[in-house]
Protein backbone atom coordinates (compact mmCIF):
# COMPACT_ATOMS: atom_id res chain seq x y z
CA UNK A 1 0.00 0.00 0.00
CA UNK A 2 2.70 2.45 0.95
CA UNK A 3 4.72 1.60 -2.14
CA UNK A 4 1.66 2.01 -4.33
CA UNK A 5 0.97 5.44 -2.99
CA UNK A 6 4.65 6.31 -3.39
CA UNK A 7 4.25 5.86 -7.12
CA UNK A 8 1.21 8.08 -7.12
CA UNK A 9 3.25 10.67 -5.29
CA UNK A 10 6.21 10.40 -7.63
CA UNK A 11 4.17 10.23 -10.79
CA UNK A 12 1.23 12.57 -10.41
CA UNK A 13 2.80 15.67 -11.78
CA UNK A 14 6.28 14.99 -12.97
CA UNK A 15 6.88 17.88 -15.34
CA UNK A 16 5.75 17.36 -18.82
CA UNK A 17 8.71 17.68 -20.32
CA UNK A 18 9.88 20.70 -20.92
CA UNK A 19 8.45 23.92 -20.79
CA UNK A 20 6.52 24.69 -23.75
CA UNK A 21 3.63 23.55 -25.66
CA UNK A 22 3.40 21.43 -28.65
CA UNK A 23 2.86 24.48 -30.59
CA UNK A 24 4.34 26.85 -28.22
CA UNK A 25 7.65 26.11 -29.41
CA UNK A 26 7.67 22.82 -30.98
CA UNK A 27 7.64 20.88 -27.78
CA UNK A 28 5.38 19.65 -25.07
CA UNK A 29 3.52 21.90 -22.66
CA UNK A 30 5.23 24.05 -20.11
CA UNK A 31 6.36 22.40 -16.91
CA UNK A 32 3.56 21.71 -14.44
CA UNK A 33 5.86 21.15 -11.52
CA UNK A 34 6.92 18.12 -9.57
CA UNK A 35 5.08 16.30 -6.84
CA UNK A 36 1.77 17.89 -5.99
CA UNK A 37 0.07 15.40 -3.68
CA UNK A 38 0.38 14.29 -0.09
CA UNK A 39 2.82 11.45 0.35
CA UNK A 40 0.24 9.19 1.93
CA UNK A 41 -3.52 9.44 2.02
CA UNK A 42 -3.78 8.31 5.64
CA UNK A 43 -0.47 9.63 6.89
CA UNK A 44 -0.50 10.33 10.62
CA UNK A 45 2.02 13.13 10.22
CA UNK A 46 0.64 16.65 10.27
CA UNK A 47 3.95 18.44 9.81
CA UNK A 48 5.68 16.63 7.00
CA UNK A 49 7.60 18.30 4.19
CA UNK A 50 8.36 16.75 0.79
CA UNK A 51 11.04 18.08 -1.54
CA UNK A 52 10.89 16.82 -5.10
CA UNK A 53 13.68 17.35 -7.62
CA UNK A 54 12.69 16.43 -11.15
CA UNK A 55 14.89 16.55 -14.25
CA UNK A 56 13.24 16.61 -17.64
CA UNK A 57 14.87 16.47 -21.07
CA UNK A 58 13.73 16.10 -24.65
CA UNK A 59 14.86 16.80 -28.19
CA UNK A 60 12.20 17.96 -30.64
CA UNK A 61 12.96 17.78 -34.36
CA UNK A 62 10.13 15.94 -36.17
CA UNK A 63 7.88 18.44 -37.95
CA UNK A 64 4.14 17.90 -38.19
CA UNK A 65 1.29 19.73 -39.93
CA UNK A 66 -1.80 18.25 -38.36
CA UNK A 67 -0.94 14.60 -37.79
CA UNK A 68 1.16 14.31 -40.96
CA UNK A 69 4.90 14.28 -40.46
CA UNK A 70 6.95 16.48 -42.80
CA UNK A 71 9.67 13.90 -43.32
CA UNK A 72 11.41 15.98 -45.95
CA UNK A 73 12.51 18.44 -43.26
CA UNK A 74 14.88 15.91 -41.69
CA UNK A 75 15.87 14.53 -45.09
CA UNK A 76 16.97 17.92 -46.46
CA UNK A 77 18.43 19.16 -43.17
CA UNK A 78 16.01 22.07 -42.71
CA UNK A 79 14.45 20.81 -39.49
CA UNK A 80 14.40 22.90 -36.33
CA UNK A 81 16.10 21.14 -33.40
CA UNK A 82 15.19 22.07 -29.84
CA UNK A 83 17.04 20.70 -26.82
CA UNK A 84 15.07 21.40 -23.66
CA UNK A 85 16.15 20.71 -20.09
CA UNK A 86 14.14 21.63 -16.99
CA UNK A 87 14.95 21.04 -13.35
CA UNK A 88 11.83 21.47 -11.21
CA UNK A 89 12.25 22.10 -7.49
CA UNK A 90 8.96 21.51 -5.69
CA UNK A 91 8.51 21.89 -1.93
CA UNK A 92 5.27 20.54 -0.46
CA UNK A 93 3.97 21.11 3.07
CA UNK A 94 1.41 18.58 4.33
CA UNK A 95 -0.54 20.58 6.90
CA UNK A 96 -2.89 17.80 8.01
CA UNK A 97 -4.70 14.78 6.59
CA UNK A 98 -6.82 17.04 4.34
CA UNK A 99 -4.64 19.90 3.17
CA UNK A 100 -1.25 20.40 1.55
CA UNK A 101 0.49 23.38 -0.07
CA UNK A 102 3.34 23.49 -2.54
CA UNK A 103 5.64 25.88 -4.38
CA UNK A 104 7.33 24.94 -7.64
CA UNK A 105 10.35 26.74 -9.12
CA UNK A 106 11.62 25.54 -12.53
CA UNK A 107 15.13 26.22 -13.82
CA UNK A 108 15.49 25.96 -17.59
CA UNK A 109 18.32 25.49 -20.07
CA UNK A 110 17.25 25.45 -23.73
CA UNK A 111 18.85 25.60 -27.15
CA UNK A 112 17.35 25.90 -30.63
CA UNK A 113 19.15 25.42 -33.93
CA UNK A 114 17.72 26.27 -37.32
CA UNK A 115 18.42 27.69 -40.74
CA UNK A 116 15.35 29.86 -41.40
CA UNK A 117 15.81 32.04 -38.30
CA UNK A 118 19.29 33.01 -39.47
CA UNK A 119 20.70 33.37 -42.99
CA UNK A 120 18.66 30.50 -44.40
CA UNK A 121 21.75 28.55 -45.49
CA UNK A 122 23.73 27.76 -42.35
CA UNK A 123 22.63 26.25 -39.07
CA UNK A 124 23.12 28.43 -36.00
CA UNK A 125 22.02 28.07 -32.38
CA UNK A 126 20.19 30.34 -29.94
CA UNK A 127 20.00 29.69 -26.19
CA UNK A 128 18.06 30.57 -23.07
CA UNK A 129 18.83 29.87 -19.42
CA UNK A 130 17.29 30.94 -16.13
CA UNK A 131 14.36 30.78 -13.74
CA UNK A 132 10.95 29.91 -15.17
CA UNK A 133 7.45 30.74 -13.97
CA UNK A 134 6.97 29.98 -10.26
CA UNK A 135 3.74 28.30 -9.16
CA UNK A 136 1.98 28.18 -5.76
CA UNK A 137 -0.77 25.60 -5.18
CA UNK A 138 -3.15 24.36 -2.48
CA UNK A 139 -4.60 20.83 -2.38
CA UNK A 140 -7.40 19.11 -0.49
CA UNK A 141 -8.65 15.53 -0.43
CA UNK A 142 -12.40 15.24 -1.08
CA UNK A 143 -12.92 12.24 1.19
CA UNK A 144 -11.52 11.63 4.65
CA UNK A 145 -8.19 9.85 4.00
CA UNK A 146 -8.55 7.82 7.21
CA UNK A 147 -11.93 6.46 6.11
CA UNK A 148 -11.01 6.06 2.44
CA UNK A 149 -7.51 4.51 2.41
CA UNK A 150 -8.14 2.48 -0.76
CA UNK A 151 -8.98 5.42 -2.97
CA UNK A 152 -9.50 9.15 -2.96
CA UNK A 153 -9.74 12.28 -5.09
CA UNK A 154 -7.67 15.39 -4.56
CA UNK A 155 -8.47 18.85 -5.91
CA UNK A 156 -5.94 21.63 -6.34
CA UNK A 157 -5.94 25.31 -7.27
CA UNK A 158 -3.11 27.79 -7.49
CA UNK A 159 -1.48 30.76 -9.14
CA UNK A 160 1.37 30.84 -11.65
CA UNK A 161 3.41 34.03 -11.61
CA UNK A 162 5.23 35.48 -14.66
CA UNK A 163 8.67 35.22 -13.05
CA UNK A 164 10.34 33.69 -16.10
CA UNK A 165 11.86 36.04 -18.68
CA UNK A 166 9.41 36.04 -21.60
CA UNK A 167 11.56 38.44 -23.66
CA UNK A 168 14.82 36.51 -23.47
CA UNK A 169 17.18 37.56 -26.28
CA UNK A 170 20.06 36.06 -28.21
CA UNK A 171 21.89 36.83 -31.46
CA UNK A 172 20.64 35.80 -34.90
CA UNK A 173 23.08 35.45 -37.83
CA UNK A 174 21.69 37.33 -40.82
CA UNK A 175 24.86 36.98 -42.91
CA UNK A 176 28.60 36.40 -42.45
CA UNK A 177 29.13 39.77 -40.81
CA UNK A 178 25.78 40.77 -39.31
CA UNK A 179 24.35 39.67 -35.98
CA UNK A 180 20.96 40.89 -34.80
CA UNK A 181 19.88 40.76 -31.14
CA UNK A 182 16.25 39.80 -30.67
CA UNK A 183 13.80 37.69 -28.64
CA UNK A 184 14.36 33.95 -29.08
CA UNK A 185 11.60 31.70 -30.36
CA UNK A 186 8.57 31.14 -28.17
CA UNK A 187 9.59 27.51 -27.72
CA UNK A 188 12.67 28.38 -25.67
CA UNK A 189 11.42 31.46 -23.82
CA UNK A 190 11.71 31.03 -20.04
CA UNK A 191 8.15 32.19 -19.32
CA UNK A 192 4.92 33.10 -21.06
CA UNK A 193 4.47 36.56 -19.53
CA UNK A 194 1.07 35.92 -17.98
CA UNK A 195 -0.39 35.29 -14.55
CA UNK A 196 -2.13 31.92 -14.73
CA UNK A 197 -4.44 29.89 -12.54
CA UNK A 198 -3.79 26.13 -12.50
CA UNK A 199 -6.66 23.74 -11.72
CA UNK A 200 -5.84 20.14 -10.81
CA UNK A 201 -7.51 16.85 -9.96
CA UNK A 202 -5.65 13.73 -8.81
CA UNK A 203 -7.29 10.39 -8.11
CA UNK A 204 -6.20 6.86 -7.20
CA UNK A 205 -7.70 3.53 -6.26
CA UNK A 206 -5.91 0.52 -4.74
CA UNK A 207 -7.41 -2.83 -5.71
CA UNK A 208 -4.82 -4.59 -3.55
CA UNK A 209 -1.33 -4.04 -2.17
CA UNK A 210 0.04 -4.85 -5.62
CA UNK A 211 -2.42 -3.36 -8.10
CA UNK A 212 -3.65 0.23 -8.29
CA UNK A 213 -4.84 2.79 -10.83
CA UNK A 214 -4.36 6.54 -11.04
CA UNK A 215 -5.66 9.54 -12.93
CA UNK A 216 -4.51 13.17 -13.10
CA UNK A 217 -5.82 16.28 -14.80
CA UNK A 218 -4.12 19.68 -14.97
CA UNK A 219 -5.44 22.82 -16.69
CA UNK A 220 -3.71 26.21 -16.71
CA UNK A 221 -6.08 29.13 -17.27
CA UNK A 222 -4.21 32.08 -18.83
CA UNK A 223 -6.45 35.17 -19.07
CA UNK A 224 -3.81 37.40 -20.71
CA UNK A 225 -4.07 37.27 -24.50
CA UNK A 226 -0.63 38.50 -25.64
CA UNK A 227 2.61 39.39 -23.87
CA UNK A 228 3.93 41.96 -26.35
CA UNK A 229 7.09 40.02 -27.29
CA UNK A 230 7.93 40.31 -30.96
CA UNK A 231 8.23 37.20 -33.12
CA UNK A 232 10.45 38.97 -35.67
CA UNK A 233 13.72 37.85 -34.00
CA UNK A 234 15.19 41.35 -33.85
CA UNK A 235 13.85 42.37 -37.25
CA UNK A 236 10.75 44.20 -38.45
CA UNK A 237 7.45 42.27 -38.34
CA UNK A 238 6.04 41.51 -41.77
CA UNK A 239 2.81 43.09 -42.94
CA UNK A 240 1.24 39.65 -43.10
CA UNK A 241 2.12 38.78 -39.50
CA UNK A 242 0.68 42.11 -38.34
CA UNK A 243 -2.57 41.45 -40.22
CA UNK A 244 -3.06 37.92 -38.86
CA UNK A 245 -1.90 38.84 -35.35
CA UNK A 246 1.17 36.60 -35.21
CA UNK A 247 3.69 39.46 -34.88
CA UNK A 248 3.59 39.14 -31.08
CA UNK A 249 3.51 36.07 -28.84
CA UNK A 250 0.30 34.83 -27.25
CA UNK A 251 -0.18 33.61 -23.67
CA UNK A 252 -1.99 30.29 -24.18
CA UNK A 253 -3.86 27.93 -21.89
CA UNK A 254 -2.54 24.39 -21.58
CA UNK A 255 -3.64 21.09 -20.09
CA UNK A 256 -2.45 17.60 -19.32
CA UNK A 257 -4.33 14.38 -18.56
CA UNK A 258 -2.90 11.06 -17.36
CA UNK A 259 -4.46 7.65 -16.75
CA UNK A 260 -2.68 4.44 -15.85
CA UNK A 261 -2.07 1.44 -13.62
CA UNK A 262 0.67 0.40 -11.17
CA UNK A 263 2.09 -2.94 -10.10
CA UNK A 264 4.07 -3.01 -6.84
CA UNK A 265 6.50 -5.67 -5.65
CA UNK A 266 8.15 -4.80 -2.33
CA UNK A 267 9.77 -1.37 -2.80
CA UNK A 268 9.59 -1.35 -6.59
CA UNK A 269 6.57 -0.04 -8.51
CA UNK A 270 6.10 -0.45 -12.25
CA UNK A 271 3.71 1.93 -13.98
CA UNK A 272 2.12 2.08 -17.42
CA UNK A 273 -0.31 4.70 -18.62
CA UNK A 274 -1.40 7.17 -21.28
CA UNK A 275 -0.55 10.87 -21.24
CA UNK A 276 -2.22 13.66 -23.21
CA UNK A 277 -0.51 17.08 -23.31
CA UNK A 278 -2.24 19.90 -25.18
CA UNK A 279 -1.91 23.56 -25.99
CA UNK A 280 -5.44 24.45 -27.18
CA UNK A 281 -6.33 26.73 -30.07
CA UNK A 282 -8.71 28.80 -27.92
CA UNK A 283 -8.38 29.86 -24.27
CA UNK A 284 -11.18 29.46 -21.73
CA UNK A 285 -10.89 33.09 -20.61
CA UNK A 286 -9.66 36.04 -22.68
CA UNK A 287 -8.72 36.19 -26.33
CA UNK A 288 -6.65 33.69 -28.29
CA UNK A 289 -4.89 35.92 -30.82
CA UNK A 290 -1.14 36.24 -31.17
CA UNK A 291 1.46 33.69 -32.19
CA UNK A 292 1.12 30.19 -30.79
CA UNK A 293 1.61 26.70 -32.17
CA UNK A 294 -1.40 24.79 -30.80
CA UNK A 295 -1.42 21.03 -30.78
CA UNK A 296 -1.33 17.91 -28.65
CA UNK A 297 0.78 14.85 -27.94
CA UNK A 298 -0.63 11.51 -26.81
CA UNK A 299 2.06 9.30 -25.30
CA UNK A 300 2.48 5.85 -23.82
CA UNK A 301 4.07 6.43 -20.42
CA UNK A 302 6.03 3.63 -18.71
CA UNK A 303 7.66 4.35 -15.37
CA UNK A 304 9.58 2.93 -12.42
CA UNK A 305 9.62 4.09 -8.80
CA UNK A 306 11.74 2.74 -5.95
CA UNK A 307 10.92 3.56 -2.32
CA UNK A 308 13.71 3.98 0.22
CA UNK A 309 11.19 5.08 2.91
CA UNK A 310 12.48 8.63 3.25
CA UNK A 311 13.58 8.90 -0.37
CA UNK A 312 11.80 7.92 -3.58
CA UNK A 313 13.61 7.73 -6.92
CA UNK A 314 11.74 7.48 -10.20
CA UNK A 315 12.06 7.49 -13.97
CA UNK A 316 9.28 8.06 -16.51
CA UNK A 317 9.69 8.05 -20.29
CA UNK A 318 6.55 9.13 -22.23
CA UNK A 319 6.85 7.88 -25.83
CA UNK A 320 4.81 9.76 -28.44
CA UNK A 321 2.01 7.84 -30.15
CA UNK A 322 0.09 10.71 -31.77
CA UNK A 323 1.36 14.21 -32.57
CA UNK A 324 -0.98 16.84 -34.01
CA UNK A 325 -0.19 20.47 -34.82
CA UNK A 326 -3.64 22.03 -35.09
CA UNK A 327 -4.67 25.21 -36.96
CA UNK A 328 -4.07 28.31 -34.86
CA UNK A 329 -6.19 31.47 -34.70
CA UNK A 330 -3.53 33.30 -36.75
CA UNK A 331 -3.68 30.48 -39.33
CA UNK A 332 -7.45 30.88 -39.54
CA UNK A 333 -7.20 34.64 -39.96
CA UNK A 334 -4.58 34.17 -42.70
CA UNK A 335 -6.82 31.64 -44.43
CA UNK A 336 -9.71 34.11 -44.39
CA UNK A 337 -7.55 37.00 -45.64
CA UNK A 338 -5.97 35.12 -48.54
CA UNK A 339 -8.57 32.49 -49.39
CA UNK A 340 -5.80 29.87 -49.20
CA UNK A 341 -5.93 27.31 -46.40
CA UNK A 342 -3.07 27.91 -43.97
CA UNK A 343 -1.81 25.64 -41.20
CA UNK A 344 1.63 26.00 -39.68
CA UNK A 345 3.92 23.24 -38.50
CA UNK A 346 5.61 22.39 -35.20
CA UNK A 347 8.51 20.15 -34.25
CA UNK A 348 7.79 17.38 -31.75
CA UNK A 349 9.96 15.01 -29.74
CA UNK A 350 9.85 11.22 -29.99
CA UNK A 351 10.06 10.84 -26.22
CA UNK A 352 10.72 12.72 -22.99
CA UNK A 353 12.97 11.65 -20.11
CA UNK A 354 11.82 12.42 -16.56
CA UNK A 355 14.20 11.36 -13.78
CA UNK A 356 14.05 12.56 -10.21
CA UNK A 357 13.78 11.93 -6.51
CA UNK A 358 11.68 13.10 -3.56
CA UNK A 359 12.81 13.54 0.03
CA UNK A 360 10.42 13.34 3.01
CA UNK A 361 11.35 15.12 6.20
Model confidence at 29, pLDDT cuts 50, 70, 90, reads low
Q: Once rounded to an integer, what is the mean pLDDT over residues 191-206?
A: 96
Residue 215 pLDDT > 70: yes
Range of the domain at 95: 2-360
As a whole number of angstroms, the distance between CA 317 and CA 87 comes to 16
Counting the structural domains of the chain, the total is 1
Q: Strand 81-94 vs strand 99-114: parallel, antiparallel, or unpaired?
A: antiparallel
Q: Strand 311-316 vs strand 346-360: parallel, antiparallel, or unpaired?
A: antiparallel
CATH of the domain at 215: 2.40.160.40
Secondary structure string (H, E, C) spanning the chain: CHHHHHHHHHHCCCCCCCCCCCCCCCCCCCCCCCCCCCCCCCCCCCCEEEEEEEEEEEEEEEEEEECEECHHHHHCCCCCEEEEEEEEEEEEEECCCCEEEEEEEEEEEEEEEECCCCCCCCCEEEEEEEECCCEEEEEEECCCCCCCCCEEEEEEEEEECCCCCCCCEEEEECCCCCEEEEECCHHHCCCCCCCEEEEEEEEEEECCCCEEEEEEEEEEECCCCEEEEECCCCCCCCHHHHHHCCCEEECCCEEEEEEEEEEEECCEEEEEEEEEEEECCCCCCCCCCCECCCEEEEEEEEEEEEECCCEEEEEECCEEEEEEECCCHHHHHHHHHHCCCCCCCEEEEEEEEEEEEEEEC
Model confidence at 46, pLDDT cuts 50, 70, 90, reads very low
| Tens digits of residue pLDDT in 141-153 | 999 999 998 999 9
As a whole number of angstroms, the distance between CA 310 and CA 344 comes to 48
- Note the pLDDT of residue 329: 97
| Tens digits of residue pLDDT in 100-130 | 999 999 999 999 999 999 999 999 999 999 9
- Note the pLDDT of residue 30: 59
CB 233 within 8 A of CB 172: yes
User: What pTM, to 2 d.p., does this model score?
Assistant: 0.89
As a whole number of angstroms, the distance between CA 10 and CA 346 comes to 30
CA-to-CA separations, 271 to 11, 14, 200, 212, 321, in angstroms, rounded: 9, 13, 21, 9, 17
As a whole number of angstroms, the distance between CA 336 and CA 179 comes to 36
Model confidence at 176, pLDDT cuts 50, 70, 90, reads confident
Residue 10 pLDDT > 50: no
- Note the pLDDT of residue 39: 36
Model confidence at 262, pLDDT cuts 50, 70, 90, reads very high
Which residues, other chains included, contact 126 with Cβ-Cβ below 8 Å and sequence gap of 6+? 111, 112, 113, 117, 170, 171, 172, 184, 185, 188
| Tens digits of residue pLDDT in 55-105 | 999 999 999 999 999 999 999 999 999 999 999 999 999 999 999 999 999
Q: Once rounded to an integer, what is the mean pLDDT over residues 333-347?
A: 96
Which residues, other chains included, contact 57 with Cβ-Cβ below 8 Å and sequence gap of 6+? 17, 18, 83, 84, 85, 86, 352, 353
- Note the pLDDT of residue 26: 52
Mean pLDDT for all residues in the chain = 89
As a whole number of angstroms, the distance between CA 294 and CA 25 comes to 9
CB 299 within 8 A of CB 316: no
Residue 260 has phi, psi (to 5 degrees) of -170, -175
| Tens digits of residue pLDDT in 264-318 | 999 999 999 999 999 999 999 999 999 999 999 999 999 999 999 889 999 999 9
Amino acid sequence: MKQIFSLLLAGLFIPIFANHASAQGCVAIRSTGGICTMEHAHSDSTSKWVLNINNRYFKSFRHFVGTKEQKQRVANGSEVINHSYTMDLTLTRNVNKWWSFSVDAPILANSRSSLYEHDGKNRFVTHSFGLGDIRFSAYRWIFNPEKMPRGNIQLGVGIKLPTGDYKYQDFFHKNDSTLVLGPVDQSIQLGDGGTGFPLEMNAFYNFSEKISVYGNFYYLVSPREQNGTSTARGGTPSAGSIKNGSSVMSVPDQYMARLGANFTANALTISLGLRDECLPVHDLIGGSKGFRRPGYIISLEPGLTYDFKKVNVYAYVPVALVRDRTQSVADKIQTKLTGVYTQGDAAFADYTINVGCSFKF
